[in-house]
Structure 1
């Protein structure tokens, strides 16, 4: 009597051989790739759950650590930097940032998602070399599984951020939430585009993963996370540097997040037409994701040999 595993093996043997290279046609090839990924959606779901479980493997408290780390970060910024170092605005320090802990935690919540997607995606193909060399499957599922697990962690951190705004009496309400889908859309699509491209290149140039960490460190300080946009504007207003600074997608995303969650920052200086800028960047990010996927598709045919 045949077992379930033997039946599955027989089915795999009956499957026709398929090329791992790009599908013909720029638009048609993209459509076929999307269909292929959708056909393997159950596998993608399994990979996402594997990524989440692996993070807390052999941990006694498990899911608790997902809450503990962002909570500890929030307390550190509130006490150590906001109070002791005087970063938070107060009667004695009117030049500080109001509700500094919410301000910086908002930026870090967005940045952490971006960093997790880019770093995790960059090493995702190399980390799954054993599976890639054994069976055919759309290789895009590996960076996409990183996206899924990163969104899980982001949801936890975001819930803590929203809870913190309620505790300090600054819960966001009204039309400010319109910025959230735009900023989150830019973040996810732009990060996925960058991560998918780097995942493919990293197979051929393993130094990429180390270069990415350095570039992310530079980009972190080139975004208004630990300092406000008003501070940058005061020093470079009307210059080319200001325009270049605002072209950084993560600058737009973080300012968008701050417009939503940092209620105490109402009245602070905000770049003009921020919503329109986010909408344009969202369109550009979609185009970048398309180009990134086509580049990934062209490079994936030799993944198994390189790995």
Structure 2
């Protein structure tokens, strides 16, 4: 833990600058610039409302209301979590390859690149959360349980960072892993309770969904934001402990394997 804190403290300014560069570079040359970070989730929210609410006329469970916009917000909760995790995981296998100039610098702390990737993705997550909260205000459904949001998101943040260290290291030695991760993430979107409640899954198959780390975070997001319920503390604490283990295992793995990066690249 002290090693992680020391890396962050020593390179705090560098991390902040790299995150800023990454966020701005994504929209460099466009007319709207960073405003696309707001426009994109707003546009997607409008699409979800129209197609799932009006075209398919879906409802979330038997006891859900007929409010089409509320249904879109329920979907949006799940997609916020998935999009964050997907962005970190899909970019990780090529993280070192895309920063070869930094890898070959002897004194550059390569560990910070996964932290930068996570924080950059989290910036867009926070923007989406802001839009979600505005939507909740519009429908008059803001609950005090929103204060648990940092606790609910912490497991997926730690898990994604640790997993990023694993994948960014493996991506140097096994280039095909990038393609494999892309396929897995496509499958994971439909194997997570994002577009449907987990209650519609037959009980004998639900264990598959509970092996998915996204499931707990998505479910808790909806509990605290949409329905004003407390998080499922048992799974939240268990998920946090598991994420801490993945976080440190990923860091240990990365530190042991990074010595050969420069030779391979």
Report the TM-score, using the length of structure 1 for normalisation: 0.79
* Structure 2: 5+ residue stretches without partners: none
Write the distance in 2 (CA, Å) between the matches of 1:262 and 1:247. Answer: 24
Aligned-partner Cα distance in 2 for 1:94–1:188: 32
Higher Cα Rg, which structure: 1
Matched, 1:206 2:164: no
Correspondence 1:114-125 to 2 at 5 A: 114-125=85-96
Q: 1:206 and 1:94, CA in 2 relative to 1: closer, same or farther beyond 3 A?
A: same
1:148-175 alpha-carbon deviations (Å, 9 max, x no partner): 111111111110000011112222x23x
Number of residue pairs aligned between Structure 1 and Structure 2: 263
Question: Which shifted more, 153-162 or 132-141?
Answer: 132-141
CA drift of 1:132 comes to: 1.5
Flag the 1:294–1:216 CA change in 2: closer, same or farther, 3 A: same
CA distance, structure 2, for counterparts of residue 161 and residue 260 of structure 1: 13
Query: C-alpha offsets along residues 183-218 of structure 1, whole Å, 9 cap, x if unaligned?
Result: 200110111111111000000001111111111111
1 CA distance for matches of 2:181 and 2:95? 14
**Residue 245 of structure 1: CA displacement?**
2.0
Matched, 1:40 2:11: yes
Unaligned runs of 5+ in 1: 1-29
Q: What is aligned with 1:295? A: 253
Task: Please tell me whether residue 80 in structure 1 is matched to residue 51 in structure 2.
Answer: yes
Give 3-state SS (helix, strand or coil) of 1:128's partner.
Answer: helix
Partner of 2:80: 109
Corresponding residue number in structure 2 for 1:153 = 124
Question: Are the equivalent residues in 1 in contact too, given 2:81–2:217 (CA < 8 A)?
Answer: yes
Query: How far apart are 1:94 and its partner, in Å?
Result: 7.7
